[in-house]
């Protein structure tokens, strides 16, 4: 049986920090990423792909707001905007990956599944928004929007400006995970849990309803990887390895670390929220629940032996 990998694409796979988000920019970025994803298929992996949507869902919310102000078109809630971006980003990945597979003479179906993810309405995250969405703003722009719209903002830890933050509840279960497992195990490429999934809750027994939130895509994909029995979980970001003392004295790249070591570094504050900390938590979650390893790296390192930061169980080191 082939190995099965779940791959979480970071926002940089779709949109670079200095770009405005045109379709040409996003398609070029996705094509570049897909050329590297093929290396996993060549390494005998079946793959499930998930992706972020922070910039895109923020932009869609702004588009809805603009349409309401100019034309009176009803603005849609955040769960609908997440569903929109699952479809549009899934389409981009499908198309560009199809183009790459044709060049490589590889025959696979690519299937995007619009995915709901169950959350708890009483999750404490609803009282403490932390998930960045949308573009970066200057301090002056952020303060103005805070006053106009009652939005919550946080400063980017890498100094790129201010971003709106929204609730990010913990994912409880992934819809259609059995179908995702069956399709991927049969050799097809599945795109699922886009943007962390559409957040839904039980408004009453047996009745689901959407809720205003954005789920962390790495935590949701870690949960999916566990549910479908994936062998490896790849978290792709814009750096090749995880660092402690990042951009400080004593900076050190991490090659292979255990779950205990990862927890220690988290407790010591080496990883910032809204950046590396959620990725490390997702990595720990997958390994603690039976996964062999999580690899955090950038797309260009896929298929290269011993690249990236590998998080493994304590007993394996």
Q: Which of 131, 197, 274, 291 is catalytic?
A: 131
Collapse the DSSP code of 170 into the 3-class scheme (helix H, G, I; strand E, B; otherwise coil) and give the result: coil
The first and second tokens of residue 156, run together, are 């980017």
pLDDT at 291: 96
User: What pairs with residue 209 in β-bridges?
Assistant: 201
Q: Cα-flanking dihedrals φ and ψ of residue 215, to 5°?
A: -85, 140
pLDDT at residue 317 above 80?
Answer: no
Active site (annotated) includes residue 12: yes
User: Catalytic residue among 52, 134, 210, 279, which?
Assistant: 279
Structural contact between residues 175 and 116, judged by C-beta atoms closer than 8 angstroms: yes
Q: Which candidate, 52, 219, 190, 11, places its Cα nearest to that of 119?
A: 219
* Annotated domain spans of the chain: 3-132+170-316
Tell me, yes or no, if 146 is annotated catalytic: no
Strand order in the sheet with 162-166: 131-137, 162-166, 152-155
Contact 191, 94 (CB under 8 A): yes
Q: What is d(CA 269, CA 119) in angstroms, rounded to the nearest whole number?
A: 27
- What are the residues whose beta carbons fall under 8 Å from the beta carbon of 255, sequence distance 6 or more? 241, 306, 309, 310
pLDDT band, residue 275 (cuts 50/70/90): confident
pLDDT in tens, 239-255: 999 999 988 899 999 99
pLDDT class of 146 with cuts at 50, 70, 90: very high
Burial of 249 (0-12, 13-18, 19+ CB in 10 A): exposed
Per-residue pLDDT tens over the stretch 25-52: 999 999 999 999 999 999 999 999 999 9
Which of 12, 29, 53, 59 is catalytic? The answer is 12
Distance CA 306, CA 46 (A): 20
Q: pLDDT tier at 237 (50, 70, 90 boundaries)?
A: very high
The DSSP code for 54 is: H
Over residues 93-104, the pLDDT tens digits come to: 999 999 999 999
Instruction: Inform me whether the pLDDT recorded for 130 exceeds 90.
Output: no
What's the predicted TM-score (pTM) here?
0.91
Question: Quick one: CATH architecture of 3-132+170-316?
Answer: 3-Layer(aba) Sandwich (3.40)
User: For residue 56, what pLDDT band results from cuts at 50, 70 and 90?
Assistant: confident
Token pair recorded at residue 89: 């980003």
Q: DSSP class of residue 255? A: S
pLDDT band at residue 107 under the 50/70/90 scheme: very high
Active site residue 131: yes
Residue of 10, 11, 195, 274 marked catalytic: 11
Report the distance separating Cα 181 and Cα 199, nearest Å.
21
pLDDT of residue 49: 98
Catalytic entry in 58, 194, 195, 217: 217
Model confidence pLDDT, tens digit, residues 159-211: 889 988 989 999 999 999 999 999 999 999 999 999 999 999 999 999 999 99
* Lowest mean per-residue pLDDT among 55-64, 111-120, 166-175: 55-64
Angle at 297 between CA 168 and CA 107, to 5 degrees: 95
């Amino acid at each position: 049986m082939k190995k099965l990998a779940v791959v979480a694409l970071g926002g940089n796979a779709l949109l670079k920090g200095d770009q405005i988000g045109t379709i040409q920019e996003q398609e070029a970025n996705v094509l570049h990423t897909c050329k590297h994803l093929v290396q996993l298929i060549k390494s005998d992996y079946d793959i499930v792909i998930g992706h972020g949507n922070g910039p895109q869902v923020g932009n869609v919310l702004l588009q809805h707001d603009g349409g309401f102000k100019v034309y009176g078109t009803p603005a849609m809630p955040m769960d609908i905007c997440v569903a929109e971006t699952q479809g549009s980003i899934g389409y981009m990945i499908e198309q560009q990956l199809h183009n790459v597979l044709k060049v490589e003479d590889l025959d696979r179906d690519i299937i995007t599944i619009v995915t709901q993810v169950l959350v708890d309405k009483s999750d404490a995250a609803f009282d403490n928004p932390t998930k960045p969405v949308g573009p970066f703003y200057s301090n002056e722009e952020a303060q103005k929007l805070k006053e106009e719209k009652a939005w919550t903002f946080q400063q980017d830890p890498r100094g790129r400006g201010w971003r709106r933050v929204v609730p990010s509840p913990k994912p409880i279960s992934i819809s259609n995970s059995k179908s995702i497992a069956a399709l991927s195990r049969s050799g097809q490429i599945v795109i699922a849990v886009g943007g962390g999934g559409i957040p839904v809750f039980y408004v009453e027994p047996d009745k689901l309803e959407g809720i205003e939130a954005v789920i962390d895509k790495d935590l949701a994909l870690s949960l999916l990887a566990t549910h479908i029995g994936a062998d490896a979980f790849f978290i792709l970001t814009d750096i090749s390895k995880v660092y402690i003392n990042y951009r400080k004295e004593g900076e050190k790249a991490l090659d292979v670390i255990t779950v205990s070591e990862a927890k220690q570094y988290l407790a010591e504050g080496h990883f910032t929220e809204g950046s590396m900390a959620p990725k490390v938590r997702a990595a720990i979650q997958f390994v603690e629940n039976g996964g062999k390893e999580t690899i955090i790296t950038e797309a260009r390192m896929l298929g290269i032996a011993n690249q990236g930061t590998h998080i493994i169980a304590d007993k394996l080191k």
